[in-house]
Amino acid sequence: MSLSERLHPGINLAGTDPESHEAAEEVLFGFWIFLMSDLVLFAVLFATYAAMSVQGIAEGPGPAQVFDLTAAFVETLLLLLSSFAFGFGMLAMKYRESRRAVLGWLLLTGGLGAAFVGMELHDYYVMITQHAAPPQASGFLSAYYLLTGTHALHVSSGLVWMAIMAVQVVVFGFTTPVKLRLMRLALFWHMLDVVWIGIFTFVYLFGVAS
Amino acid sequence: MNWELIFGQIKWTSFVFAGAIENPSLSEFIASGAGSVAVLGALAAVILLTVKGWWVPLWRDWLTSVDHKKVGIMYIAIALVMFARAVIEAALMRAQQLAATDSGGFLSADHFGQLFSTHGTIMIFFVAMPFITGLMNYVMPLQIGARDVSFPLLNAISLMLTMAGAILIMVSLVVGQFSTGGWSAYPPFTGIEFSPGEGVDYWIWAVSLGSIGSTLTGLNFAVTIYKKRCPGMTLFRMPLFTWTTLCTSILMIFAMAPLTAATVMLALDRYAGFHFFTNGDGGNMMNYANLFWLFGHPEVYILILPAFGVWSEVVATFSSKRIYGYTSLVYATMCIAVLSFAVWLHHFFTMGQSANVNAIFGIATMIIGVPTGVKVYDWLLTMVGGRIRFTTPMLFHINFLLTFILGGMTGVLLANPGIDFQVHNTLFLIAHFHNMIIPGVLFGMFAAVQFWFPKAFGFRLHEGLGRASFWCFAPGFLLAFFPLYWLGLMGATRRTYMWSDPDYLPWLALAMAGAALILAGFALMVMQIVVSVRQREPLAAPLGDPWDGRALEWSIPSPPPDWNFAVLPEVTARDPFYEAKKAGTAYRSPAAYEDIEVPRNTATAPLIGLFACAWAFGLVWHIWWLAIVSFVLIWVVVIARSFATDTEEIIPAATVKAANEAFLAAVRSAPGVTRDREMTSENRGRAIPEGLEGRSGAVSSGAAVEVLS
């Protein structure tokens, strides 16, 4: 195998931009390791939630009483669609290097992501005002807000990052550093999908079913 | 505008000196004295920098530098400053316990609580961690033949976050109180109900800053080792210190996240009324114990593994012999790294698990002794048949082998839950973990300083004073901690500020004498550095190889140039530099030089550190405007940096060539020194390897070849 075939950083630029592809190896590998460390954080939060959603309910409401499965399902669709849009954005960057196309896809991704965060905030609002379920109510709710809140914070920082990258695409065009940053942002965004799938399954579906 | 909006919860009584005025007592005077030392120390540093005109060089050459060598040296400087504080605190605690038989002693209970909390927190997070990180920073890239780490700026940011945490802990000497909850800060005691005030918040944010810094360090070093090894440097040709650095980095990536999660949850409990670890409302402190030790136990190996790497380098070099059992040492290191995640529960055997769970974790704990035992045998067998030189690092190594085994034995005792139930929370435990960390980690770092100091600064450390400090440290450690085993078996509990049992007194007196010896050892070590700087002419070893070294770092000048290697070396064996010396291929000129790209200095990292420190201080004192502004500024700096394009500079090939050829010419014309003369002023850094004494004298430049060394 040639060097460029062995490299497996993210989206494969070997055919269209071998120079950036070589440069991607070190920074993208580093970013994978960062994501791994980030996932350890989420694993710890999941474990905490697993314990507290059973033993930490105390006098407060239980999972089935406060979760709105429909909203969570719509949120899931929003986030997955945003990842899908980002995928198209990355393909546009790889094959067409068209600023307009990439910016358009980024805008769609960001819009869907923002809608996701907005819906989640609305969920919180409903839980606090209609179900008397703020994070201070019980250990279970503390763990719920921390787990989903950390995810929402990640998505929000991803949105800020996306806005900055849009500016950089305009200012610098598709230079190697800009491409590599977009590739890392894409990995970050897809990882948040994976984490959300875990949250949807484990927190919402399992919480409402049990 | 009212006071609280601007200054949060700071009042004039928050300053340590107010305590001495309002409530004059020896305890308060000691606290004020410590505060004064912190203030005067900072003031003295400012005056020194101003008088000597060092502000500009400090900023231009050090704080803004992203060079792994300078970052490493700054890490170790932090460690030494913080060590001075924490070791004095240890001596104060010993003195208090000695004075407090049937009386209150001279410290208040609260002050004593702060002392053991800061002592533990500082020693782990701001002495041991920066010490190992600094050493890995300096040595690892040189050992793998790299010009820097993978992400030099990230490296500088890690340093500045650690420094911000250290500064925060120093500030707590002057403004406010520190936590009394010990270094592990168990809730619910550290919750808002039982520990209102700023103390625990100081702990939370100082530790969080250090922990984020360490996560980034681990990531950076792991990528460096995987991606930046020079040609031919396969994994199984890496020096053992690099192997241990890799394992420690992997542990950092996985183990720091649980700590961050635990501190964040504790902060949410305290600041926002969450119920993670509270009594009632569904909180459960056992989750804290699990999270903390899920970090805490791998942390032990994060600290000890680099020290194991140092011991492997030291014993091979000063036995003039290839390390025995290289492969088994590598696998043992890996086994320890993996097993370190399977034993965390032994830190709380007594906290209510079933017997079977305790048994499993007890057995896993004992199993860790096996790979560690393999390492000890390998080090012993390296010495067998070698020509051992009893230099200061080697003395520390032999002392390590003897005392570390005893500490390991008591560890196997404690791994048995039945015995643990008897001695947990006593001084027996204190004796055990100091027995592992002092001769293992701390003395390992001291040995490393003696070993690599000439590489970093171009002159050796004074050997006589080094030995003198060893002969204070080693018996000082035994005296200070072996009595604690006895005391623990007699039932003396840890973290106790007064006693009623007169039988403890002789053992406490012995321990006090040990603490005094350790202080003397530290004084001698400081004196050694001062004397060596003064005598740097006769001690100079600029040619780079004062100890007949084996790995690549010894093949380049001391101190190394900014670019480390003029031409990236190509490696064909383990111990590449030693093999090259024996084959007569060392110090050859490369066929061609190329331009070298190095990252420019940047103010990014120190600015992030500054704002991170202000952010944490704002959070500790509930100064919300400061916390918000600083947090925003941190990210403004990061974003601004992402728009900078001119971040690299080119060092022309001609400059590199001139410097390297001058170095090579100096080495070739140097007469070289044999091992029996290495502590004399004849040692300029050109070693004649053991067994090649006949070949001393100037060597020919040899044919120009493709590779260096």
Helices B152-171 and B199-227: crossing angle, nearest 10°? Answer: 160
CA–CA dist B418, B350 (Å, integer) = 10
Q: Which residues of B touch A142 (CB under 8 A)?
A: 265, 268-269, 274-276, 282-283
Diameter of chain B measured on Cα atoms: 82
Stated length of chain B? 709
* pLDDT attached to residue A16: 81
Q: Which residues of A touch B222 (CB under 8 A)?
A: 33
Q: Are B276 and B380 in a shared domain?
A: yes
Nearest chain B residue to A52, by CA: B282
Q: Are B397 and B462 in a shared domain?
A: yes
| A201: number of Cβ within 10 Å | 12
Question: What is the mean pLDDT of the segment spanning B43-70?
Answer: 94
Burial string for B87-110 (b: 16+ CB within 10 Å, else e) reads: bbbbbbbbbbbbebbeeebbbbee
* pLDDT attached to residue B695: 58
Q: Are B97 and B171 in a shared domain?
A: yes
Report yes or no on B358 lying in a domain.
yes
Inform me whether the pLDDT recorded for B309 exceeds 90.
yes
Q: Are B398 and B491 in a shared domain?
A: yes
Report yes or no on B620 lying in a domain.
no
Question: What is the tally of structural domains in chain B?
Answer: 2
Report yes or no on B439 lying in a domain.
yes
CA–CA dist B365, B414 (Å, integer) = 9
**What is the torsional sign of CA B611, B613, B616, B621?**
negative
**Do B143 and B553 contact (CB within 8 A), yes or no?**
yes
Nearest Cβ partner of A139 from B227, B260, B276? B276
Q: Which secondary structure element, helix H or strand E, spans residue B649, and what is its range? A: strand B648-651
Q: Which residues of B touch A140 (CB under 8 A)?
A: 282
CA–CA dist B30, B118 (Å, integer) = 15
CA–CA dist B232, B627 (Å, integer) = 49
Residues 48-77 of A with CB under 8 A from B: 48, 51-52, 55-60
Report yes or no on B155 lying in a domain.
yes
Nearest chain B residue to A172, by CA: B643
**Do B223 and A30 contact (CB within 8 A), yes or no?**
yes
Alpha-carbon torsion, ordered A165, A167, A171, A176, to 10 deg: 0
CATH number for the domain that contains residue B108 = 1.20.210.10
CA–CA dist A113, A156 (Å, integer) = 8
Inform me whether the pLDDT recorded for B705 exceeds 50.
no
Q: What are residue B101's DSSP bridge partners? A: B499
CA–CA dist B469, B518 (Å, integer) = 9
CA–CA dist B3, B426 (Å, integer) = 45
Nearest Cβ partner of A136 from B275, B284, B294? B275
**Do A205 and A196 contact (CB within 8 A), yes or no?**
no
Q: At B50, which amino acid appears?
A: T
CA–CA dist B504, B500 (Å, integer) = 9
Report yes or no on B27 lying in a domain.
no
Partner-chain contact B287 A52, CB within 8 Å: yes
| Residue B155 dihedral angles phi and psi, to the nearest 5° | -60, -45
Q: Are B118 and B86 in a shared domain?
A: yes
**Do A183 and A10 contact (CB within 8 A), yes or no?**
yes
Confidence of residue A18 (pLDDT cuts 50, 70, 90): confident
CA distances from A126 to A146, A149, B383 (A): 17, 15, 71
Partner-chain contact B223 A33, CB within 8 Å: yes
Alpha-carbon torsion, ordered B362, B364, B368, B371, to 10 deg: 140
pLDDT digits (tens, 9 = 90+) for A27-70: 999 999 999 999 999 999 999 999 999 999 998 999 999 999 99
Report yes or no on B14 lying in a domain.
no
Higher pLDDT, A8 or A175: A175
Q: Closest Cα to residue B505, out of B524, B531, B486, B521?
A: B486
Half-sphere exposure (Cβ direction) of B652: Cα atoms closer than 13 Å: 3
Q: Are B477 and B581 in a shared domain?
A: no
Inform me whether the pLDDT recorded for B283 exceeds 90.
yes
Partner-chain contact A44 B294, CB within 8 Å: yes
CA–CA dist B170, B88 (Å, integer) = 14
Average per-residue pLDDT in chain B?
A: 93
Inform me whether the pLDDT recorded for B302 exceeds 60.
yes
Q: Are B228 and B362 in a shared domain?
A: yes
**Do B105 and B50 contact (CB within 8 A), yes or no?**
no
CA–CA dist B169, B126 (Å, integer) = 9
Query: By three-state DSSP, how is residue B188 classified?
Result: coil
pLDDT digits (tens, 9 = 90+) for B312-337: 999 999 999 999 999 999 999 999 99
Partner-chain contact B282 A41, CB within 8 Å: no
Q: Is A137 on the interface with B (CB under 8 A)?
A: yes
Q: Which residues of A touch B150 (CB under 8 A)?
A: 26, 30
Partner-chain contact A168 B643, CB within 8 Å: yes
Report yes or no on B31 lying in a domain.
no
| B505: number of Cβ within 10 Å | 14
Nearest chain B residue to A142, by CA: B274
**Do A81 and A112 contact (CB within 8 A), yes or no?**
yes
Q: Are B233 and B278 in a shared domain?
A: yes
pLDDT digits (tens, 9 = 90+) for B223-282: 999 999 999 999 999 999 999 999 999 999 999 999 999 999 999 999 999 999 999 899
Inform me whether the pLDDT recorded for B105 exceeds 60.
yes
**Do A26 and B227 contact (CB within 8 A), yes or no?**
yes
Q: How far is Cα of residue B570 from the mean position of the Cα atoms in its chain?
A: 31
Show Cβ contacts of residue B206 under 8 Å, excluding neighbours closer than 6 positions: B121, B125, B126, B165, B166, B168, B169, B172, B616
pLDDT digits (tens, 9 = 90+) for B171-223: 999 999 999 999 999 999 999 999 999 999 999 999 999 999 999 999 999 99
Q: Are B560 and B469 in a shared domain?
A: no
Rg (CA), chain A: 19
Tokens 């999941």, residue located: A46
Partner-chain contact A142 B275, CB within 8 Å: yes
Q: At B190, which amino acid appears?
A: T
Q: Which residues of A touch B293 (CB under 8 A)?
A: none
**What is the torsional sign of CA A65, A67, A71, A73?**
negative
pLDDT digits (tens, 9 = 90+) for B125-148: 999 999 999 999 999 999 999 999
CA–CA dist A164, A166 (Å, integer) = 5
Shortest alpha-carbon distance between residue A32 and chain B (Å): 10
**Do B114 and B199 contact (CB within 8 A), yes or no?**
yes
* pLDDT attached to residue B1: 60
Q: Are B528 and B569 in a shared domain?
A: no
Would you give the end-to-end CA distance of chain B in angstroms? Answer: 68
Q: Which domains does chain A have, with CATH numbers?
A: 70-210 (1.20.120.80)
* pLDDT attached to residue B104: 84
Q: Is A38 on the interface with B (CB under 8 A)?
A: yes
Inform me whether the pLDDT recorded for B406 exceeds 70.
yes
* pLDDT attached to residue B685: 92
Question: Domain residues for B508?
Answer: 54-540
Judged on CB neighbours under 10 Å (0-12, 13-18, 19+), B227 is middle
Nearest Cβ partner of A44 from B151, B227, B261? B261
Partner-chain contact A34 B219, CB within 8 Å: yes
**Do B206 and B620 contact (CB within 8 A), yes or no?**
no
| Residue A14 tokens, joined | 């070997």
Would you give the end-to-end CA distance of chain A in angstroms? Answer: 50
CA–CA dist B570, B709 (Å, integer) = 8
Shortest alpha-carbon distance between residue A180 and chain B (Å): 12
pLDDT digits (tens, 9 = 90+) for B583-613: 989 999 999 999 999 999 999 999 999 999 9
Confidence of residue B13 (pLDDT cuts 50, 70, 90): confident
Question: What is the mean pLDDT of the segment spanning B629-639?
Answer: 97
Report yes or no on B329 lying in a domain.
yes
Q: Are B523 and B559 in a shared domain?
A: no
CA–CA dist B147, B166 (Å, integer) = 29
Q: Is A198 on the interface with B (CB under 8 A)?
A: no
Question: What is the mean pLDDT of the segment spanning B577-587?
Answer: 92
Q: Which residues of B touch A29 (CB under 8 A)?
A: 223, 226-227
Nearest Cβ partner of A41 from B218, B260, B273? B260
CA–CA dist B563, B570 (Å, integer) = 16
* pLDDT attached to residue A7: 62
Confidence of residue A5 (pLDDT cuts 50, 70, 90): low
Q: Which residues of A touch B265 (CB under 8 A)?
A: 48, 142, 146
CA distances from B306 to A2, B324, B415, B441 (A): 35, 18, 24, 8
Q: Which residues of A touch B228 (CB under 8 A)?
A: 26
* pLDDT attached to residue A9: 64
Q: Which residues of A touch B634 (CB under 8 A)?
A: none
Nearest chain A residue to B224, by CA: A26
Enumerate chain B positions whose Cβ falls within 8 A of a Cβ in A.
150-151, 215, 218-220, 222-223, 226-228, 253-254, 256-258, 260-261, 264-265, 268-269, 272-276, 278, 280-284, 287, 291, 294, 639, 642-643, 645
- What DSSP assignment string belongs to B213-257? HHHHHHHHHHHHHHH-PPTT--GGGS-HHHHHHHHHHHHHHHHHH
Show Cβ contacts of residue B461 under 8 Å, excluding neighbours closer than 6 positions: B392, B449, B450, B453, B454, B528, B529, B532, B539
Diameter of chain A measured on Cα atoms: 62
- Report which DSSP code applies to B59: I
* pLDDT attached to residue B224: 96
Partner-chain contact B227 A29, CB within 8 Å: yes
Inform me whether the pLDDT recorded for A2 exceeds 80.
no
Cis peptide leading into B475, omega within 30 of 0?
Answer: no
Higher pLDDT, B347 or B33: B347
Q: Are B380 and B282 in a shared domain?
A: yes
Inform me whether the pLDDT recorded for B707 exceeds 60.
no
